[in-house]
């Protein structure tokens, strides 16, 4: 099994694919800019590409002779492979955390000077679980995370129970539905099982066979 990411956001005001592709190719990989375009291509409806962000990170080293710590800057590069579909106002990023949505949004609006607005998409976790149960085979609720759980007067705070029986998990979900902040789901894919982590936004982490990646992505896109 391999691990994957699918972070989906709403992008408004994005120009047609041809205009986006032209701007990305022109921007390229400037040496003095924080952002750059590693590669890009386009179809009639979408733009595919990889954006990179370069930052400087101080690494401490020990100078034994001088008995002191020194710091030297090291360049750190983060890549954001992505797809943009202007007609449907959808942005997909295939690696990194949810913070990558903000970074890609800055690139389009700040570096390419497009009138775009990028916003995260909220997910209703109980509804998403219902959709997964309806659209997948052998779907199991493996664990939940709830906020402000109070078992008794001596215990309160976040709680993350795991379930051996999926029905027990659904019963717990129905009882504490308003406090659910994350869920882990397992279901059967064409080549084997797939494990999905749901959160309050459309930023999905999942693991599955590499052959099943397109299938799992298609299932997750139906949750928004």
What pLDDT sits at residue 149? 64
For residues 197 and 182, the answer to whether their CB atoms sit within 8 Å is yes
The pLDDT value recorded for residue 156 is 63
Angstrom distance (rounded) from CA 172 to CA 205: 23
Give the residue from 85, 81, 79, 98 showing the smallest Cα distance to 40. 81
Buried residues in 24-41 as b, exposed as e (16+ CB within 10 A): beebeeeeeeebbbeebe
CB 187 within 8 A of CB 136: yes
Question: How far does CA 148 lie from the centroid of its chain?
Answer: 25
Cα distances from 34 to residues 75, 104, 123, 188, in angstroms, run: 11, 12, 32, 42
Which pLDDT score is estimated for 89? Answer: 96
User: Consecutive sets of 10 residues in the chain, 224 residues long: mean pLDDT of each?
Assistant: 94 96 95 93 96 88 82 88 96 93 95 95 92 92 80 64 83 81 92 93 94 95 92
Distance, in Å, from the CA atom of 166 to the CA atom of 184, rounded to the nearest integer, reads 11
Map tokens 């090291």 to a residue.
74
Residue 173, pLDDT score? 81
Q: What is the pTM of this model?
A: 0.85
Looking at residue 152, what is its pLDDT?
54
Q: What local confidence, expressed as pLDDT, does residue 171 receive?
A: 85
């Amino acid at each position: 099994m391999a691990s994957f990411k699918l972070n989906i956001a709403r992008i408004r005001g994005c120009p047609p694919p041809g205009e986006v592709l032209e701007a990305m190719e022109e921007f390229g990989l400037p040496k003095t800019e924080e952002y750059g375009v590693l590669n890009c291509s386009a179809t009639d409806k979408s733009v595919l590409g990889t954006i990179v962000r370069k930052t400087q990170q101080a690494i401490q080293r020990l100078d034994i002779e001088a008995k002191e710590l020194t710091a030297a800057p090291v360049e750190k590069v983060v890549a954001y492979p992505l797809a943009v579909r202007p007609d449907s106002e959808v942005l997909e990023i295939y690696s990194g955390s949810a913070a990558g949505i903000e970074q890609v949004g800055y690139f389009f609006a700040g570096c390419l000077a497009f009138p775009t607005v990028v916003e995260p998409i909220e997910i209703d976790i109980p509804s998403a679980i219902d959709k997964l149960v309806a659209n997948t085979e052998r779907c199991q609720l493996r664990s939940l995370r709830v906020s402000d759980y109070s078992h008794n007067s001596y215990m309160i705070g976040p709680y993350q129970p795991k379930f051996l029986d999926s029905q027990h998990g659904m019963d717990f979900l129905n009882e504490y539905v308003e406090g659910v902040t994350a869920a882990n789901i397992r279901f059967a894919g064409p080549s084997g099982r797939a494990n999905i982590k749901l959160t309050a936004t459309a930023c999905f982490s999942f693991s599955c066979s590499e052959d099943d990646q397109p299938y799992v992505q298609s299932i997750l896109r139906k949750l928004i």
